[in-house]
């Protein structure tokens, strides 16, 4: 390699190192992200306290979206995330809650749940949280317009309230805020910045001056393609350490030396387990508490809620049918007035009913 080539190589390495350093400038050195390493940190919008207005932009889903088919237009990517995993406090997508696959952190939580020395609060902290990611255009200032940013938020605090507000359209129906042509500017106010004091006030929907341009929509990201989907062994190593992970791998390849773990399977929740870990009524109290969003039994509990709701609707319909039948039967047994008797007799004889003296 010539001197000139070496100089150019050094320059390229230095540029690359500086660019990588900029992308990591906000990292603490501890937390592993749920996103692929090449995802730039400056793409993300950090929602501060105060009033904001955004355009939520539609995009075409990839092949790892949990609720949309590949190529289908959608407006958000919804996932479940484990945080503070292991000594490095890493974050990983929960493959069990998101894709019904096996998850090492969920298995660890099951172990802790059986440990009499582990409190319910400690077990609860191991539950995954429900997160939502959006492509947005920030409308707070003219300088932000025309730029696509990523916004990640809590499903419980943001998406849930956003959807509830979008259902309150005058005359019924939904406000389709992310529609390319007829979408709305979403307004809201954030209060608090901590994990326990953050809230978003009721959302507002304002008409756009014009739909998002084709140029802007061409800049959106396929959100599910930005994410890192961990293997079971990776999360296991983060929780227990690499040495134990290697030992477990060797035992697995050798066929194992102990009894099999009945809780380790394909990662699908046992729908027959009707139990609420916080002591509420299974099914009936579904989604009624903030703890529900992190509960591993949420899906079967939601199924039970639907079952109870259908039973309640059937009961109400049966009661209404019985009430109507009783009213009809009561009407049959009700004594007729003299005028009604005279009308019925006149109808039979095809005569004009006589006028009641009392009516004169």
- CATH at 69: 3.90.198.10
Domain range holding 140? 26-225
Between 143 and 163, residue with greater pLDDT: 163
Out of 291-305, 309-323, 329-343, the most confident range is 329-343
What pLDDT was estimated at residue 68? 93
C-alpha 39/C-alpha 222 separation (Å) is 12
What pLDDT was estimated at residue 273? 58
Exposed e or buried b per residue across 348-359, where buried means at least 16 C-beta atoms within 10 angstroms of its C-beta: eeeeeeeeeeee
Exposed e or buried b per residue across 50-63, where buried means at least 16 C-beta atoms within 10 angstroms of its C-beta: eebebbbbbbebbe
If pLDDT is split at 50, 70 and 90, which confidence band does 28 have? very low
pLDDT above 70 for 105? yes
Q: How far is CA 184 from the centre of its chain?
A: 21
- Structurally, the chain folds into a number of domains equal to 1
In angstroms, the first-to-last Cα distance of the chain is: 124
Stretch 334-341: mean pLDDT: 80
What pLDDT was estimated at residue 315? 76
Between 258 and 74, residue with greater pLDDT: 74
What pLDDT was estimated at residue 215? 96
Between 9 and 184, residue with greater pLDDT: 184
DSSP state of 35: B
Stretch 57-80: mean pLDDT: 96
Question: Does residue 114 lie in a domain region?
Answer: yes
Question: Does residue 89 lie in a domain region?
Answer: yes
The mean-pLDDT minimum among 17-26, 41-50, 186-195, 285-294 falls in: 17-26
What pLDDT was estimated at residue 314? 74
The mean-pLDDT minimum among 85-94, 207-216, 256-265, 310-319 falls in: 256-265
Which residue from 91, 80, 73 is spatially nearest to 235, judged by alpha carbons? 91
In the predicted model, what is the mean pLDDT of the chain? 81
What would the 3-class secondary structure string for 282-325 be?
Answer: CCCCCCCCHHHHHCCCHHHHHHHHHHHHHHHHHHHHHHHHHHHH
Question: Does residue 127 lie in a domain region?
Answer: yes
Name the pairing type of β-strands 199-200 and 59-60.
unpaired
Question: Does residue 156 lie in a domain region?
Answer: yes
Question: Does residue 254 lie in a domain region?
Answer: no
Question: Does residue 155 lie in a domain region?
Answer: yes
Question: Does residue 247 lie in a domain region?
Answer: no
Question: Does residue 121 lie in a domain region?
Answer: yes
What pLDDT was estimated at residue 14? 62
pLDDT above 90 for 139? yes
Q: Concatenated DSSP letters for 92-146? A: EE-HHHHHS---HHHHHHHHHHH-TTS-HHHHHHTS-EEEEEEEEEE-SSGGGTT
C-alpha 36/C-alpha 227 separation (Å) is 5
The answer to whether 71 and 208 have CB atoms below 8 angstroms apart is no
The answer to whether 302 and 288 have CB atoms below 8 angstroms apart is no
What pLDDT was estimated at residue 336? 76
**All residues at 6 or more sequence positions from 113 whose CB lies less than 8 Å from its CB, including other chains:** 123, 277
pLDDT above 70 for 232? yes
C-alpha 189/C-alpha 48 separation (Å) is 9
């Amino acid at each position: 390699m010539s001197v000139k080539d070496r100089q150019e190589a050094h320059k390229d390495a230095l540029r690359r190192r500086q660019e990588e350093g900029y992308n990591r400038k906000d990292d603490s050195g501890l937390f592993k992200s749920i996103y692929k390493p090449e995802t730039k940190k400056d793409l993300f919008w950090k929602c501060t306290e105060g009033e904001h207005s955004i355009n939520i932009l539609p995009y075409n889903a990839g092949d790892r979206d949990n609720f949309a088919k590949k190529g289908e237009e959608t407006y958000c990517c919804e996932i479940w995330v484990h945080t503070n995993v292991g000594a490095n406090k890493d974050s990983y997508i929960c493959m069990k809650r998101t894709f019904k696959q096996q998850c090492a952190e969920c298995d660890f939580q099951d172990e802790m749940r059986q440990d009499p020395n582990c409190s319910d609060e400690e077990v609860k902290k191991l539950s995954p949280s429900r997160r939502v990611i959006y492509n947005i255009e920030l409308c707070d200032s003219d300088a932000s317009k025309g730029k696509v940013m990523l916004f990640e938020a809590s499903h419980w605090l943001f998406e849930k309230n956003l959807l509830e507000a979008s259902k309150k359209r005058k005359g019924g129906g939904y406000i389709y805020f992310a529609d390319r042509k007829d979408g709305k500017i979403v307004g809201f106010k954030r209060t608090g910045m901590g994990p326990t004091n953050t809230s978003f006030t009721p959302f507002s929907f304002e008409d756009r001056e014009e739909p998002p341009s084709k140029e802007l929509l061409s800049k959106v990201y396929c959100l599910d393609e930005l994410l890192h989907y961990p293997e079971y062994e990776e999360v296991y190593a983060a929780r227990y350490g690499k040495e134990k992970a290697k030992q477990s791998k060797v035992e697995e390849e050798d066929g194992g030396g102990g009894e099999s773990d009945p809780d380790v399977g394909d990662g699908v929740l046992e729908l027959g387990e009707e139990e609420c870990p916080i002591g509420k009524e299974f099914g009936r109290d579904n989604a009624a508490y903030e703890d529900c969003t992190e509960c591993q039994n949420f899906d079967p509990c939601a199924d039970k809620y639907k079952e109870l709701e259908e039973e309640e609707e059937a009961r109400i319909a049966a009661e209404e049918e019985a009430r109507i039948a009783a009213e009809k039967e009561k009407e049959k047994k009700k004594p007729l007035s003299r005028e009604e008797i005279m009308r019925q007799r006149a109808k039979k004889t095809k005569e004009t009913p006589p006028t009641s003296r009392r009516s004169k």
